[in-house]
Structure 1
Amino acid sequence: MRAGTQNRSGGPSSLNTAVLADRYLAPGETTRNDVFKRVAHALSVAEQPGQRAHFTRLFYANLLQGAIGAGRIMANAGRVNHGTMVNCFVHPIGRGGQSVADASDVERALHQAQITLQMGGGVGYDFSVIAPVDAEQAASNSGTESVCAVLDAFDRVCATQALINTRGGAQMAVLRCDHPDLTAFVTAKRGRKRWSTFNLSVAVTDAFMRAVADDGLWCLQHPAVPNAQRLAKGARVLSNGNWCYAVVPARQLWNAITEAAHDSAEPGLLFIDAINGANDLAEIETIAATNPCGEQPLPPWGSCVLGPIDLSRWVQWPFGMGGQPLFDFIGLSQAVRVQVRMLDNAIELTRWPLPEHMHEAHAKRRIGVGVTGLADALTMMCLPYAAPAARCMAAQIGRCLRDNAYAASAALACERGSYPLFSPERSLASGHFSAALPKAVREAVARHGLRNSHLLSLAPTGSVSLAFGDNCSSGIEPAFDWVYQRRVRTQHRAPQLYRIENRAYRLFRALYGQHAALPDYFVTARQIDGFDHLRMVAALQPSIDASISKTVLLPHGTSCAEVGALLFHAWQLRLKGITIFRPDSGSGDILSVLPALVSRPACFC
């Protein structure tokens, strides 16, 4: 028996139905299958007319097997509305080549953000081009505001948009580790509800992390000219042309970051040198920010269409019922190849908020095949999430995703042409991502090129896992719990509490009965050591050309020092980013295991 072939886990819960109706059903639709039919038909329009019926059936079958689109695809494909099928965007604040953004740049960026948010896209920004709070404004008459003041303006725009769109808006604010406003930025959310539409991240460099390790000094710098008082104190121009505002102990800044992360789960860290070092397009683009959930590092105007595959559908003989559990890699391989085609079609068919998005997307054709239900799949295979064998299985799954996604993209390039900026010398060079592909796939890339510059992205999958995955575990996260409460707001009504059960748990109960003891491989997020969370990301990262969104859930009693050790170890593992969360019973509650309460800024993909 395969989990996806014979579903004995019961029907969808009232929450699954409520989320489906609130976010994904078009007028006249009543079921998930109605959504699947609409999406499959809409995305087949990019095919040749004589092939559209065939690909409609192929996409529909793939959707039924758990290879779905991310939230914007499922909500907007085939609908007569102004929504986009693209979840992820990164916007510049200034114009190309500018090192300091002025007031007109900020106004322009606010307008561009509003258009994108109205169409359902989440946006990330690098705010490092904003002059520090004490920059000399009179000299340039720029009217530039501080980073925190600019974020206030972007937050207001997004919060207003949330009143129009039931999904709400999601944004990411990134600031470099050497920006003079860094301390104010990382402490802005501590102890108060500020910037509710934003997730915060600090872009940390290897040089900064080495300074932290060595207890060295760190220069806070910016191209903006300091004010006269600062100049009188000896501000100086550095060799890179920036002004040095202050020299402080690196660990002083590190402590501010870790204390803020400990208290408010923010900021997360983006290891920006690891991100750019692993980017196959590093010669032609520089990445300084990510989308709101962090799984997609993107250049200015970059975007990505996403589509997770429910891994729990590919487990044969789950929990050992009828035989030794096995993972159907052949079935997953086929699903990945179809998924690549469907997501590539979305680039052709989606509505773009801005022309800049379309031009950047068509030049590089980024897509993000991802997963959901990893923890459920491991549990069905009788593997505890934190066990080395579970990480080994996850790594095998990652390689299956990678190899088949790149093979499918090479086949699409043969049929439709490579992405315009493709260079075989660059992509197949030693040390690039493609160098790790199997020989046959590399040869296909050499012959035909690649249709897509990036193909893999592991995102959170909150609402689609509810609406289309029967509440399977989200993304690559461990199961939050097996039975718990979730507070959800729909149709602008007051939030309502729902009791829900994890999909793998319901399947186990259907197979073994309500009174059977849960085996020890049933492990929840709160039972997993923080370092084991990181080890799972490290097992998957070599197979993912974009990045991985993963929150390390820590016990409430975790100390600041322990948080700092986790953040530092993530850098040592060469991960691309990390976010931690320490539940606080005094916070606003989204998830609850009676009586504890947990919350995170919403970011539905």
Structure 2
Amino acid sequence: FVKEAFTENADYDWNRFDFVVSEMIGALDELLTMLGERHALPEQRLHVKEYREVGLGVMGLADLALSMRLQYGSPEFLKFLDVLMRRMINTATKATALRAKDLGVFPKYDYEKIAASKFYKDTIDADTDELVKKYGMRNSRLLSIAPTGSISNIYGVSGGVEPFFQINYTRRIVSMFDEEKTITVWEKTPMALAKKMGVEPEKLPAWALVTSQNLDFIDRANVQATIQKYVDTAISSTFNLNNSATVEDVMNIYTTAWAKGLKGATVFRDRCAKIGILAGINENTEDLNPATPPHVHVEEKWTNKKTNEVKEYVTHISLSSSGHIPEKIEKELCPLCGDVLVKKQGCIQCNNPECVYEKCAI
């Protein structure tokens, strides 16, 4: 969609963008008609008929940023992205309205409910609303951002709304027969930009070398939040963190995601127990900053409805790399400090880490 890509005169082809979005909404609607009866459950088939939800997404967002000579996550990029996504939802809505004109609205369509929603009020332009008022909507949902991990590799662009993972990286491929292979992948767009600028990829300016490994999570969240404003379902994407990330860093990401209105956020910390799909070239997979496995206990009160007898229980849960182990006993208080006693690996111990009380079976 970018004319004169990688140059100072780079310009977005809005007319082509409008055409492609409209065509794709029509194609996805046709797929519902063709494949809607193939869902396994009758409830699924009924839902398809009544709501006709589609989910047009994007991929190659990091490539777009470089093609426009914009730094992924920068204020200039966010401003462009806001215009792009508003245009996308309005173009998609116009397309579904025009299909409703010819094919009818989805059975559960209710203009008053739709128009009263905060999403509709915040994103739909007046001219788009006029079409919806006149013809209705063929589809109840329009945009949905998938991770596009495999198909983006096929096309040689960045996945979904993610930044580049790295300029080059190793990708693990596990077949259905559990045969594992690794391949080295070089991102095509940074290579093309480097060629246009007449430099080696490693010598590209800093704005062109933004990856998931060096992008501040706030900038990453701002990109997703800008897109989420115009996506009527959700966005699947991953915050890839360095091994040095702490529990507090992960918590900050989730609280920030919630505060910015993200409907979903996934975090993957490098070198965790589960090796990621993407990894840097020749990277050591040892966790250099392991967190202390958490231990929690849950208190419950059960009442026998026949006898009205009340019993209290404490379940202590130990988490490890191999899973979790629940240990449940009747609630009992420590005779030394009064805290709750829990069962840990065959012993009854005080939950207070400063207390030494325990009783073990011999």
TM bucket normalised to smaller: 0.7 to 0.9
Please state if 1:483 is matched with 2:168: yes
Question: How far is the alpha carbon of 1:378 from its aligned partner?
Answer: 0.5
Please state if 1:463 is matched with 2:145: no
Deviations 1:218-261 (A, max 9, x none): xxxxxxxxxxxxxxxxxxxxxxxxxxxxxxxxxxxxxxxxxxxx
Q: Distance in 1 between matches of 2:127 and 2:253?
A: 39
Which residue in 2 is equivalent to 1:333?
18
**Aligned letter for 1:456?**
L
Number of residue-to-residue matches in the alignment: 281
Root-mean-square deviation over aligned CA pairs: 1.9
Question: How far is the alpha carbon of 1:371 from its aligned partner?
Answer: 0.2
Which residue in 2 is equivalent to 1:515?
200
The answer to which structure has the higher helix fraction is 1
Change (3 A) 1:439 1:562: same
Which residue in 1 is equivalent to 2:224?
537
Deviations 1:462-514 (A, max 9, x none): 111112x12x1100000001111111124536111111111212322443456
Please state if 1:344 is matched with 2:36: no
**Aligned letter for 2:265?**
I
Deviations 1:504-560 (A, max 9, x none): 123224434563621222211111011111111111111111111121122211121
Change (3 A) 1:483 1:436: closer
Q: Secondary structure at the match of 2:244?
A: coil
Higher gyration radius (CA): 2
Deviations 1:45-91 (A, max 9, x none): xxxxxxxxxxxxxxxxxxxxxxxxxxxxxxxxxxxxxxxxxxxxxxx
Which residue in 1 is equivalent to 2:86?
399
Which residue in 2 is equivalent to 1:574?
261
TM-score by length of 2: 0.73
Gaps of 5+ in 1: 1-313, 599-605
Please state if 1:559 is matched with 2:246: yes
Change (3 A) 1:530 1:552: same
**Aligned letter for 1:399?**
R
Please state if 1:549 is matched with 2:236: yes
Gaps of 5+ in 2: 286-362
- The correspondence of residues 51-130 of structure 1 with structure 2, limited to 5 A, is none
Query: Are 2:119 and 2:232, in contact at CA under 8 Å, matched by a contact in 1?
Result: no
Q: Distance in 2 between matches of 1:585 and 1:553?
A: 11
Query: Are 1:481 and 1:524, in contact at CA under 8 Å, matched by a contact in 2?
Result: yes
Q: Distance in 2 between matches of 1:331 and 1:354?
A: 38
Please state if 1:357 is matched with 2:30: no
Query: Are 2:168 and 2:281, in contact at CA under 8 Å, matched by a contact in 1?
Result: no
Q: Distance in 2 between matches of 1:354 and 1:315?
A: 43
Question: How far is the alpha carbon of 1:432 from its aligned partner?
Answer: 4.5
**Which structure is higher in RCO with an 8 Å CA cutoff and minimum separation 6?**
1
Identity of aligned residues (%): 28
Query: Are 2:86 and 2:123, in contact at CA under 8 Å, matched by a contact in 1?
Result: no
Change (3 A) 1:500 1:577: same
Please state if 1:428 is matched with 2:115: yes
Which residue in 2 is equivalent to 1:80?
none
Question: How far is the alpha carbon of 1:572 from its aligned partner?
Answer: 1.6
Q: Distance in 1 between matches of 2:276 and 2:123?
A: 43
